[in-house]
Chains A and B, each alone.
Chain A
Amino acid sequence: MEQKPDRSAQNFGIAALVTGIITFILAVIPCIGVIALIPGIITIILAVVGLTRSATEGRGLVIAGLIIGVVATMISASQLAIFSKGIGNRDNIVNEIRNAVEEVRTEILDEIESGDFSIRVESGGDVVEIKSRIDPEKLEKKIEKLEKLEGIAEPDTVKKK
């Protein structure tokens, strides 16, 4: 009785090759590249199983599937590195914004404390600028004078900065 040749290795090779090609295409698309890790691992498993079963027939297919699978998995995994870099950049941007806001806040507080105000609004080519120079000591004296004249509040109730 004639024995049929074992074609399971070839079948595993074809499966690995097809999965590998699909994985490769998925891996190079940045939006879904990381997801390709799963079919990539499946490809490698299929190819390894095929290699263990193959003697000579279908070995080429299995090796081709294995190479494509490994390369696709590496591309997919490399996107994780890109992500970590992107997250680092995002943190830097957040820190830069935070520092800029803090600087502006400090400047505004300093100007308020010194009594110098300058508000500039630009919109559609129109510029509106309001400047105010107030001496805090003069302002304090003015308030005290007003209180004495009108007697609306005790001097202790006025907040002094």
Chain B
Amino acid sequence: MGYSGIFSPDEGNYPVVCVHEAVTGKPCPSCGLSHGFSLIVRGRLSEAIEWNSYSLRIFLFFFLQLLMRVGLSIWYIKIPAPALRNNLIAADSSVTVVMFLLAFWPMLRFLVTSF
């Protein structure tokens, strides 16, 4: 979020370039994510989706994970019973894996189909 906030989408002066496009000459599904994230942080959602159609779901993944990590860390510390804590860890892991698959599915599909 700091990265997205610091670099302006209008100037486009991002330090990280797409290695895939630089090497193969073709854009990949993650091209335009930096622009997309910067636009989401500034509330320009429709423009962000234009830059990268997956930018919103990936941003949501990172944002929800940030909230989950902070919230659940406090919860883990407060729960004294180990059994309950283990159940919470299992639930947390499962939800995170599902969220990851939902957010990154297009990238995973691209990696698999590129072979």
Q: Judge whether A31 and B20 touch: CB under 8 Å.
A: yes
Partner of A30, one of B16, B25, B110, B115: B110
Residues A87 and B111 in contact in the complex (CB < 8 Å), given A28-B104, A30-B29, A32-B16: no
Min distance, Cβ B91 to any Cβ of chain A, angstroms? 17
- The number of chain A residues touching the other chain, given as a range, is 20 to 34
B29 — which chain A residues lie within 8 A by C-beta? 30
Residues of B in contact with A (beta carbons under 8 Å apart): 16-21, 23-26, 28-31, 33, 100, 104, 107-108, 110-111, 114-115
Classify the interface of chain A: helix, strand, loop or mixed: helix
Q: Which of A25, A35, A78 has the most C-beta atoms of chain B within 10 angstroms of its own C-beta?
A: A25
Q: Judge whether B28 and A28 touch: CB under 8 Å.
A: no
Residues of A in contact with B (beta carbons under 8 Å apart): 25, 28-35, 75, 78-79, 81-83, 85-87, 89-90
By beta carbon, the residue of chain B nearest A21 is B96
Q: Judge whether A82 and B19 touch: CB under 8 Å.
A: no
A32 — which chain B residues lie within 8 A by C-beta? 16, 18-19, 30
Residues A29 and B33 in contact in the complex (CB < 8 Å), given A79-B111, A81-B115: yes
Partner of A31, one of B25, B30, B104, B108: B30
9 A/B residue pairs, CB under 8 Å, sorted by A: A29-B104, A29-B107, A30-B29, A31-B18, A32-B18, A33-B111, A78-B115, A82-B114, A86-B23
